[in-house]
């Protein structure tokens, strides 16, 4: 429990940012973002200035978790794609590498077909990046006996108290 | 599951408020929301029924500052307390880093408290956690009411760890003990990270 399951390194983070930036352009969408299944935002790209991305991340994860629950109830492993259609904007949600959620927000300038097509391609690339991350974590675990080097190893009570001052 | 982003130097932790129906989980979050500096908090999201009972969860992101150069964010969640929402409760525990159990101090709610703690242990187990090993604190809420059980009685009935988990007396509606409880669990969560070495 103590060790985090996802550790994001600079190199992979930049690759991920590149992939979602490209997806945003290719799919002609407004916003693309990536969230982990627990509701933590990993990366976002597009018109996010007026968007509450933290809430969006948390609600998306809640939505996916509830839908996963529904899937299991009827004997499915998961519903890998969710689509919400609005008057102007639509949300396309898909699960990548079984652990992260890719969200694309688009309007009438794009179409569901185009988004699905581009998401599929981007998913494959993201899959590769997440496999690399997991391999890296595994390697580190094997070489040091720990999952990662905690920057908090020497955290003190004063550090924590100062957060609440 | 703490999410550490080395690239943007951020760390995100998930804290869940658990407890029986009407014990004051949402009230805790509302107090924190009201009393926190606007720059440090996001929106408080409540997925509730028309009668203001929590349906899925409440969510409040808090950004407390930096520790060792890492921006530290806490994502606070509550679960729906009503017994029949068990499936939703289970989902919210996914990836939890720390749990606050909010107990209702009224004598007549003691059975509900015990039942909710047992439920917490079962649901944590289904997500692969053990209550005895995760950062966990107990809040005795509604201490201002006249018909409350004594602190000793409540500790005896509700504490599960040995030595006992930290206990905080509170009156969430007036804010007493709310931040103390949050700080208590935050401390345990961050301290837990040091053990990963």
Selected for mutation to probe chain B from A2, A11, A56, A95 (highest B CB count within 10 Å) is: A2
Residue A39: per-residue pLDDT = 84
Q: Is residue A155 part of a domain?
A: no
Element (H, E) at A56: helix A53-73
Count of residues in chain B: 197
Q: Is residue A14 part of a domain?
A: yes
Q: Determine whether the interchain pair B193/A150 forms a contact, defined as Cβ–Cβ distance below 8 Å.
A: yes
Residue A137: per-residue pLDDT = 79
Q: Determine whether the interchain pair A2/B6 forms a contact, defined as Cβ–Cβ distance below 8 Å.
A: no
State the pLDDT confidence band at A97, using cuts at 50, 70 and 90. Answer: confident
Q: Is residue A86 part of a domain?
A: yes
Say if residue B75's pLDDT is above 70. yes
Q: Determine whether the interchain pair A54/B61 forms a contact, defined as Cβ–Cβ distance below 8 Å.
A: yes
Residue-range domains of chain B with CATH: 9-194 (3.40.50.300)
Chain B residues inside the 8 Å CB shell of A160: 67, 183, 186-187, 190-191
- A/B interface, count of CB pairs below 8 Å: 138
Cα gap B104→A11, rounded to integer Å: 48
Q: What is the pLDDT of residues B181-197, one digit of tens each?
A: 999 999 899 888 777 54
Strand partners, A41: A35
Q: Which of residues 59-78 of B touch A (CB under 8 A)?
A: 59, 61, 64-65, 67-70, 72, 75
Q: Is residue A72 part of a domain?
A: yes
Domain, as residue range, for A56? 10-140
Cα gap B136→B184, rounded to integer Å: 9
Chain A residues inside the 8 Å CB shell of B4: 4, 6-8, 148, 151
Q: Determine whether the interchain pair A152/B190 forms a contact, defined as Cβ–Cβ distance below 8 Å.
A: yes
Q: Is residue A2 part of a domain?
A: no
Q: Is residue A88 part of a domain?
A: yes
Give the DSSP per-residue string, A67-124.
HHHHHHHTT-S---EEEEE-SS-EEEEEEETTTEEEEEEE-TTS-HHHHHHHHHHHHH
Residue A149: per-residue pLDDT = 57
Q: Is residue A163 part of a domain?
A: no
Q: Is residue A152 part of a domain?
A: no
The residue of chain A with its CA nearest to that of B13 is A40
Chain B residues inside the 8 Å CB shell of A62: 47, 56-57, 59, 91-92
Cα gap A111→A105, rounded to integer Å: 11
Q: What is the pLDDT of residues B136-147, one digit of tens each?
A: 999 999 999 999
Q: Does B39 touch chain A (CB under 8 A)?
A: no
Residue A3: per-residue pLDDT = 44
Mean pLDDT of B1-19: 84
Q: Determine whether the interchain pair A37/B179 forms a contact, defined as Cβ–Cβ distance below 8 Å.
A: no
User: What CATH number does the domain containing A77 carry?
Assistant: 3.30.450.30
Q: What is the pLDDT of residues A45-64, one digit of tens each?
A: 999 988 888 889 989 999 99
Cβ pair B46, A71 in contact under 8 A: no
- ipTM attached to this prediction: 0.74
Residue A1: per-residue pLDDT = 37
B49 vs B115, higher pLDDT: B115
Q: How many domains does chain A have?
A: 1
Report the range of poorest mean pLDDT among A92-101, B6-15, B140-149: B6-15
């Amino acid at each position: 429990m103590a060790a985090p399951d996802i550790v994001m390194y600079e190199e992979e983070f930049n690759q991920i940012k590149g992939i979602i930036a490209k997806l945003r352009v290719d799919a002609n969408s407004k916003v693309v973002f990536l969230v982990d299944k627990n509701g933590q935002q990993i990366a976002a790209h597009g018109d996010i200035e007026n968007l509450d991305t933290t809430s969006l991340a948390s609600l998306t994860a809640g939505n996916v978790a509830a839908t996963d629950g529904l899937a299991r109830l009827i004997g499915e492993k998961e519903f890998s794609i969710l689509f919400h259609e609005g008057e102007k904007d639509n949300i396309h949600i898909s699960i990548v590498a079984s652990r992260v959620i890719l969200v694309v927000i688009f309007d009438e300038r794009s179409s569901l077909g185009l988004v699905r097509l581009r998401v599929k391609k981007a998913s494959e690339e993201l899959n590769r990046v997440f496999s690399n991350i997991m391999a890296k974590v595994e390697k580190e675990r094997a070489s040091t006996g720990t999952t990662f080097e905690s920057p908090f190893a020497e955290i003190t009570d004063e550090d924590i108290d100062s957060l609440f001052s | 599951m703490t999410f550490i982003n080395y690239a943007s130097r951020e760390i995100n932790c998930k804290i869940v408020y658990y407890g029986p129906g009407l014990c004051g989980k949402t009230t805790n979050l509302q107090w924190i929301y009201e009393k926190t500096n606007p720059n440090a908090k996001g929106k408080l999201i409540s997925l509730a029924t028309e009668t203001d009972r929590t349906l899925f969860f409440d969510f409040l992101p808090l950004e407390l500052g930096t520790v060792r150069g890492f921006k530290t964010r806490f994502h606070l969640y509550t679960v729906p307390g009503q017994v029949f929402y068990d499936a939703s409760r289970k989902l919210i525990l996914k990836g939890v880093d720390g749990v606050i159990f909010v107990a209702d101090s009224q004598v007549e709610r003691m059975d509900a408290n015990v039942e909710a703690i047992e439920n917490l242990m079962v649901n944590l187990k289904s997500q692969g956690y053990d209550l005895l090993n995760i950062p966990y604190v107990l809040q005795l809420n509604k201490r201002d009411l006249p018909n409350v059980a004594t602190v000793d009685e409540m500790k005896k009935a509700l504490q599960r760890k040995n030595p006992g988990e930290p206990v905080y007396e509170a009156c969430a509606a007036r804010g007493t003990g709310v931040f103390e409880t949050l700080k208590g669990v935050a401390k345990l969560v961050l301290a837990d990270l040091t053990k990963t070495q």
